[in-house]
Amino acid sequence: MSTTTDTKRGGTVSSNDESVYYNRFPEEAAVIRSALLTSFVALAIGGLAGLVQTLHRADIIRVIDSGAHYYTVLTLHGVLLVITFTIFFLVGVFTWAITDSLDRNVIDIRFTWLWFALMSVGTLFAAIAILAGFTEAIDMQADVLFTFYAPLQAHPLFYAGLTLFIIGTWLAGADWFRSWYAWKQDNPGERIPLRTFMVLTTMIMWYIATIGVAAAVILFLLPWSLGLIDNVNALLTRTLFWYFGHPVVYFWLMPAYMLWYTVLPKISGGRLFSDPLARVVFILFLLLSTPVGIHHQYLDPGIAEGFKFIAFTNTMFLLLPSLLTAFTVVASIEYGARRAGGEGYLKWLTALPWRDPAFTGMMLAGLLFAAGGFSGMVNAGLNINYLVHNTMWVPGHFHLTVGTAVALTFMAGSYWLVPQLTGSQLYSRPIGLFQVVLWFIGMTIMSNAMTRQGLLGIPRRTAEPEYQGFTFDGGSGLVASLDVQLSIGGALLFISLVLFIVNMGITALDKREGPVPDGTIPPALSGADDSPQVLDNLKLWVIIAIVLVILAYTLPLASIIERGGLFGPGLIGGWL
């Protein structure tokens, strides 16, 4: 039986307790550990590339050449962090969520290793293609950024790697759907457990979204880079990319939301406020994530203003699930605080477990996400976007969203989850606490500097913002001081990242028996039974999601193809 202590605070159990995930699912735990390891290696290398880049852009320390290698570093930074780090973490945490919430093993562990292997080989191919850009000795490069649309072209190995990686994620989804299906046969008529529901709806969104990128890569970019076709329609590949490029941001965010909805209430000593509301949120993401991609293309010529307006209104609706999340998550935590004796309008905040790095990290991630959400609203505004598009404002936005809401939640969540996967105690909670606070401080400084640089019109995606002697005039000394802030923030983030990797590394290698977090997730205050059965009707949501995508994309795609041709008349096919 579990020897739960400190129940007020979510509790711990001894590492050899039979309730610990590592003891219940040793084989799955091994796959998840491998996924997290890959994720953290990508985080370390991608983070180093980030440091090189901040210091270079701000002209503080320059170790690379602006012309030859800046975009190699930028691509390495983007791809490793927003594709490898995030998605390997996702597959790990989703495997945990499915097996733990259904309380059953995966159907066939060899299949689980198969998709992991495909994703790993895909990553290796893409990484080789990118890293080859550093040397003239090999005739290979993939300096195409994580947005990789035409007219930029990479070596075929890069696209082949992406393809394998995505097929791997599709199989991972199939693995989870199979587990759920088998569970359903044994438990007819039961509501889908919440974490499984979150995984399944996110994966349906992913299947719909990846059709766009698969089409772009397999039909156009790969044949073009192999020399099988001479031209592509650049606007078409861009549009197909952004069809995928917006929902992918929620693919990164949903595992973080899952941790906020389930683990955060647990460690704050509370319970999820409303299970039905959580289900509604995930359904809204499934329905609305894809028909908004054109909000990344407000400034693209060749797409009629009306289609941009539709993307704009859909995006405003898409704010709703995040605003609901802010409400539900904070209410759940407040419940925990009040159970622990917290009182008053705001004083209850002091009754929360702030010494726990998992708790504090996720809360700080949520706090900065509120700021990132607001800059997202500005981005989404059809007319205000003209002011900020392609400026440093946009990196300011996404370092708060993917770089904090997601990355900091994953790191914080690891302090809670990894000991349960390894059966060993976390090496150091104080270092963990210091690390998450340092991330918060570093990111506050860096994203503020980026955002303000953006308002001065300083462009993103360039090593030399002031090329050809052009200077940005932001008042006396302002640009230089923002550059210094950018670098200080970036350096603090890098130190924080190193502390995280060291803490995780020692936890995994130096197996110390001792208390590990109690992994049981308490039921919601208002459970699934309070919600209509229709929420679990996945088929219905799939159909509505597909209809919305068809409505939002058929006409824009048809008009792009009509004007620019399927394979475009030239390099910038049809839109210049």
Site residues for Cu ion per CB under 5 A: 246
Nearer to ligand HAS, 114 or 319 (CB): 319
The total number of residues shown for the chain amounts to 576
Instruction: Extract the tokens encoding 361.
Output: 């990290």
Residue 402 binds: one of ligand HAS, Cu ion, none (C-beta under 5 to 8 A by kind): ligand HAS
Whether omega for the bond prior to residue 26 falls within 30 degrees of 0, making it cis, is no
Q: Residue 395: name the closest of 58, 45, 166, 123 by CA.
A: 58
CB 460 → Cu ion: shortest distance, Å?
Answer: 15
Spacing of C-alpha 151 from chain mean position? 26
What's the one-letter identity of residue 525?
L
Alpha carbon distance 130, 146 (integer Å)? 11
CA-to-CA separations, 58 to 446, 466, 521, in angstroms, rounded: 12, 11, 45
Q: In 3-state terms, what secondary structure has residue 522? A: coil
Q: What is the DSSP letter of 150?
A: T
Alpha carbon distance 151, 272 (integer Å)? 47
What's the one-letter identity of residue 240?
L
Q: What are phi and psi of 459, to 5 degrees?
A: -75, 155
Q: Is there a catalytic annotation at residue 279?
A: no
Q: Which residue is nearest to Cu ion (CB)?
A: 246
Q: What is the DSSP letter of 25?
A: -
Q: In 3-state terms, what secondary structure has residue 391? A: strand
CB 200 → Cu ion: shortest distance, Å?
Answer: 23
CB 50 → ligand HAS: shortest distance, Å?
Answer: 14
Contact residue for ligand HAS among 253, 258, 421, 549 (CB under 6 A): 253
CA-to-CA separations, 30 to 21, 37, 243, 390, 568, in angstroms, rounded: 11, 10, 34, 42, 47
Q: Are 215 and 552 in contact (CB under 8 A)?
A: no
# chain residues binding ligand HAS, by CB under 6 A: 34
Q: In 3-state terms, what secondary structure has residue 515? A: strand
Q: Is 485 in the site for ligand HAS (CB under 6 A)?
A: no
Q: Is there a catalytic annotation at residue 397?
A: yes
CB 372 → ligand HAS: shortest distance, Å?
Answer: 7
Nearer to ligand HAS, 68 or 370 (CB): 370
Among the residues of 187-304, which ranges form H helices? 194-215, 222-225, 234-245, 247-258, 264-267, 275-288
Nearer to Cu ion, 155 or 246 (CB): 246
Q: Is there a catalytic annotation at residue 460?
A: yes
Q: Is 387 in the site for ligand HAS (CB under 6 A)?
A: no
CB 329 → ligand HAS: shortest distance, Å?
Answer: 4
CB 247 → Cu ion: shortest distance, Å?
Answer: 9
Nearer to ligand HAS, 166 or 380 (CB): 380
Residue 319 binds: one of ligand HAS, Cu ion, none (C-beta under 5 to 8 A by kind): ligand HAS
The single residue of 77, 295, 296, 399 carrying the catalytic annotation is 399
Residue 366 binds: one of ligand HAS, Cu ion, none (C-beta under 5 to 8 A by kind): ligand HAS
Mask: binding to ligand HAS, 284-323, rule CB under 6 A, as x and -? -----------xx------------------x--xx--xx
Stretch that binds ligand HAS, among 367-375, 412-420, 506-514, 522-530 (CB under 6 A): 367-375
Q: Is 384 in the site for ligand HAS (CB under 6 A)?
A: no
Q: Is there a catalytic annotation at residue 338?
A: no
The single residue of 33, 338, 389, 461 carrying the catalytic annotation is 461
Q: Residue 404: name the closest of 328, 497, 488 by CA.
A: 497
Residue 420 binds: one of Cu ion, ligand HAS, none (C-beta under 5 to 8 A by kind): none
Nearer to ligand HAS, 104 or 389 (CB): 389
Identify the burial level of 178 via C-beta atoms within 10 angstroms of its C-beta, where 0-12 means exposed, 13-18 middle and 19 or more buried. middle
Contact residue for ligand HAS among 30, 367, 561, 566 (CB under 6 A): 367
The single residue of 57, 77, 238, 397 carrying the catalytic annotation is 397
Q: In 3-state terms, what secondary structure has residue 568? A: coil
Residues 353-368 as b/e (b if ≥16 CB within 10 A, e otherwise) read beebbbbbbbbbbbeb
CB 318 → Cu ion: shortest distance, Å?
Answer: 9
**Contact footprint for ligand HAS (CB under 6 A):** 147, 249, 252-253, 260, 295-296, 315, 318-319, 322-323, 325-326, 329-330, 363, 366-367, 369-370, 373, 376-377, 379-380, 385, 389, 394, 397-398, 401-402, 406
Q: Which residues are catalytic?
A: 246, 250, 397-399, 460-461
